[in-house]
Chain A
Amino acid sequence: MTAFVELDHPGPSATDGEIAAINLESARRGAWARFAQDPSLPGVAEAIVDDERLALQFLGDLDALDRLDVLALQFARADGSSRAVLVRAEVASTAHRFDDARGYLARAAQMGAPREAIERQVLAIDQACGVKLDAVLAARREVATASGRLEDLVPLGSLLADLERFAEADTVYRRALSSYDDVSPFPLAWVCFQLGMLWGELVPEPDPNLAAIWYRRAVGYLPGYVKARVHLAEIYASQGRMGDAEALLLPALSSSDPEVNWRFADVLTAQGRFEQAERQLDTARSGFEQLLERHLLAFADHAAEFYAGSGNDHRRALELARTNVDNRPTRRAVEQADAIAMIADAA
């Protein structure tokens, strides 16, 4: 019988999250220094992509997208091989420029890039765009079954959740958590966050208490996990626990993610601290606009949600939601656009 991590089980132990974050920054900067020494050094540009994506995903370091653009450009100038084209595809995909990414992958294929590297990226793009999902599911299952590794199980769980097969997604996520035998806290925090999303936002009848447990675990593994803090703070705020929500968000304000300012503004508003809230909303608004200027497709959905809510600009919200649907017509993207259209009509 398979024993999965249950709620009363603490889960696998991992390197302390503060240490891991410092070491990620160390590895990231070290890789950039080596790239500057010689951009073509084996594996270095690819390592930078990995490190920057971790900084983006977990630490709310949104400047990572700008750095990745610089990397892609400099690497393409320095290296005429398919490596540089694969990196460009990865960078474009990270910024949700999926059409660009597909173009680069086609070029990489013509240049003889390894088939597995191309297929891995195509799979991720198809999943992100919600296309060919039956084929993606079959491929994800095959990969996850073969490796049994967390990094292959989590995308499968995410896809199952997109397909509304929630119980199965939960099982796969908990299997991922249970099977982990490494010591980095990043993958563990990632699974816990996904479980929080599943139970807090994706299932038809959300269970905020269960979601909060998983978000707390994500933050426990990685105190600097900005998105997990934001989502947990939202639950606390919805339960009237404004002090707890504020305590969660305060340390995350130093990140460059405007969603932190937005949620913090909501907490301040609920406490009647309107002037402070207005300042936070202004910061969030300008933060989103700056991001949209540089990386429209990467932030269209989050900014749409902001403008549909506290950002209070329904026309802008609808425009962004439609941009997002055009870029990746997933079920969630369409639902978001429909919901915002209804709000805009009603306003």
Chain B
Amino acid sequence: MSDHVDGPRSIGDPAADLSDLFAFTSPESPARTVLAACVFPSAGEDAIFSNIINYSIAVRRVTVASVGNSAKFQPADDEIRFSFRFDVLKRDAAGKAIQRGVCTLPEGGELPLTVNDEKGASTPEGDIRVFAGLRSDPFYLAWDAGELKRLPNLLQHTNVLCIVVEFDTRRVLDPTKGSLFGAIAETVPPQQRSLIAPAIPRIDWIGRPEQTNIRLYNPALVGIDDLRDLWNQQTPFAIPKQLQPLFLQRLKDSLANWDMRDGKADWTPDALAANASVFLDDFLLFDVAKPINDESHLEIEKSTISGLPYQTGGGRTVDANSIDILLTWLVNRDREFLQGGATGATKPGIKVFPYFATPNTELQTVAESVELAATPDDVWSLIGQFGGAWHPLTARVNLTGAGIGQLRTVLTLDGQKIVERLEAVDDAKRVLRYSIVAGVGVSHYTGTLEVKLKGSGCVVDWRAQFLATDKTDRAVKVMVSTWFKTGLESLKPRFGAAA
């Protein structure tokens, strides 16, 4: 995951665990820039910011110091910093818990805000606007990073806590002095807390996505030390000279491994070392004088390493496919795009402030199973047919199309018509996944039917997740559960119930 749960320390308080950082041109105004950071990976419906963490996004002007195999981006010493602090919960008149906070602006002013207020808070001049609150996780990861195997989005339907800053680019960044910038975000605890050890300067920080979980802790490298906590303790823009060789060597080893994941060497040793060196300086590069779009992520780094002038503003938009852009670069140096098992997050970004989609509500879950006295293959040969009409409440099933994506229209005995789409099927593992297109008052429905060996027989698992739309959650759960149970029970007379 981008920077999700990236070290033992950050697991302590999920609200201190940074997951992502973004920098892009405001979709509402080309004259404005948006910086955003997310914490609390895989949050549910009610996550809240810690009241003692300082959440910051900092930006420094950067110059291209060198190109090609000696590529180097040099950050300036001066910093533009936005810092968020949050209070303990208060109750409003109706007894509802609310959290307030304040954003400290680069020049020292403070902007009070209320968490989850979509309008956010603005300075009187309107040059800076901020938001903090729960949103749908914009990141999507659809790979098994250890084996480079495609998966469905591992973060489907999860939420994160976001802080968003939008500002007048000219007034805040003054691009006349240079339009290339590097951004980081960090979570800083109160200082001088530990009595027997130096205070930790920060719990987590992030520059480019996946510095920790993909590059420094490549899951395919066996027997390596986990450097993530040590990395998270370092000061952004200023990795100590004595630690640089340690991190640089790890990056080289990791990138060399990534290069060979497809069995082909796409990186020369010198280019690979240059790539590692660029990633060691971990800040999210963006150029406010050039276009930042969903494809421009990492283009500044890639062009510079290749000895070319960069063409875009790099950065990272809400909808940027950052994981696939990165993996493609690492594995085959952009020879062939590596598309993971998902093409988007649970919800795409929105075009208006605060640009991150509304949080997901909790999916309802139904799971039923039956144990049968038959081999898994025998049972699968019946129920593994997507067009099969084995369910006793089914009058007829019509198939449209073939393979993944085919539709089945189920006509039920009581006259309903349900349209379902085949999303995935694995006959070897005896599992199929489908969604509901129409006919039942649900959205985001994912059903899974699976047959597994158990003892001398098998177990059939049927589970589904969905959001009820037309009726209450309970009513739809009962309906789905009844459908599942009836179907599974009908298998007992055919195959025999397990003893």
Question: Which residues on A are within 8 Å of B, measured CB to CB?
Answer: 2-5, 9, 12-16, 18-20, 22-23, 25-34, 36-38, 41-43, 74, 77-78, 80, 148, 175, 178-184, 187
Interface size on B, residues (CB 8 A): 55
Chain B residues, Cβ within 8 Å of A187: 12
Chain A residues, Cβ within 8 Å of B363: 33, 36-37
Supposing A12-B193, A27-B42 touch, asked if A181 and B88 sit within 8 A by C-beta, the answer is: no
Closest 4 CB pairs of A and B: A182-B12, A26-B44, A30-B44, A184-B13
Check A25–B452 contact: CB distance below 8 A. no
Which of A9, A27, A77 has a CB less than 8 Å from the CB of B14? A27
Check A36–B13 contact: CB distance below 8 A. no
Chain A residues, Cβ within 8 Å of B448: 38
Question: Which residues on B are within 8 Å of A, measured CB to CB?
Answer: 5, 9, 12-16, 40, 42-53, 88-89, 97, 99, 144, 152, 154, 156-159, 189-190, 193-197, 199-200, 203, 362-363, 365, 367, 369, 446, 448, 450, 452, 454, 459, 461, 463, 465
Check A4–B16 contact: CB distance below 8 A. no
Which of B43, B88, B200 has a CB less than 8 Å from the CB of A19? B88
Chain B residues, Cβ within 8 Å of A12: 193-194
Sampled A-B contacts (21; CB under 8 Å):
A3-B196, A4-B195, A13-B52, A13-B193, A15-B53, A19-B48, A26-B45, A26-B48, A27-B40, A29-B45, A30-B158, A32-B365, A33-B44, A33-B157, A37-B152, A74-B367, A175-B196, A182-B12, A183-B12, A183-B16, A183-B203
Check B189–A181 contact: CB distance below 8 A. yes
Check B13–A181 contact: CB distance below 8 A. no
Chain A residues, Cβ within 8 Å of B446: 37
Check A182–B9 contact: CB distance below 8 A. yes
Which of A2, A5, A33 has a CB less than 8 Å from the CB of B365? A33
User: Closest Cβ of chain A: how far from B492's Cβ, in Å?
Assistant: 18
Check B46–A180 contact: CB distance below 8 A. no
Cα–Cα distance between A2 and B51 once the two chains are bound (Å): 29
Check A20–B13 contact: CB distance below 8 A. yes
Closest B residue to A79 using CB positions? B452
Closest A residue to B452 using CB positions? A77
Closest B residue to A6 using CB positions? B195
Chain A residues, Cβ within 8 Å of B40: 23, 26-27
Cα–Cα distance between A38 and B426 once the two chains are bound (Å): 15
Check A26–B463 contact: CB distance below 8 A. no
Cα–Cα distance between A78 and B450 once the two chains are bound (Å): 9
Check A15–B50 contact: CB distance below 8 A. yes
Which of A34, A179, A182 has a CB less than 8 Å from the CB of B13? A182
Chain A residues, Cβ within 8 Å of B195: 3-5, 9, 178-179
Chain A residues, Cβ within 8 Å of B156: 34, 37
Cα–Cα distance between A20 and B46 once the two chains are bound (Å): 11
Which of A3, A19, A34, A179 has a CB less than 8 Å from the CB of B50? A19
User: Closest Cβ of chain A: how far from B409's Cβ, in Å?
Assistant: 26
| Most chain B C-beta atoms within 10 Å of own C-beta, residue among A2, A41, A182 | A182
Chain A residues, Cβ within 8 Å of B5: 43
Chain B residues, Cβ within 8 Å of A77: 369, 452, 454, 459, 461
Chain B residues, Cβ within 8 Å of A29: 44-45, 362
Cα–Cα distance between A23 and B53 once the two chains are bound (Å): 14
Chain B residues, Cβ within 8 Å of A43: 5
Cα–Cα distance between A12 and B363 once the two chains are bound (Å): 38
Check A2–B16 contact: CB distance below 8 A. no
User: Closest Cβ of chain A: how far from B442's Cβ, in Å?
Assistant: 15
In addition to A19-B15, A27-B14, A182-B9, 15 A-B residue pairs with Cβ atoms within 8 Å of each other are: A3-B196, A4-B195, A5-B195, A16-B89, A19-B51, A23-B48, A26-B40, A27-B40, A27-B47, A33-B362, A36-B463, A37-B363, A80-B452, A181-B194, A183-B52
Chain B residues, Cβ within 8 Å of A9: 195
Closest A residue to B365 using CB positions? A36
Chain B residues, Cβ within 8 Å of A36: 363, 365, 367, 463, 465
Closest B residue to A5 using CB positions? B195
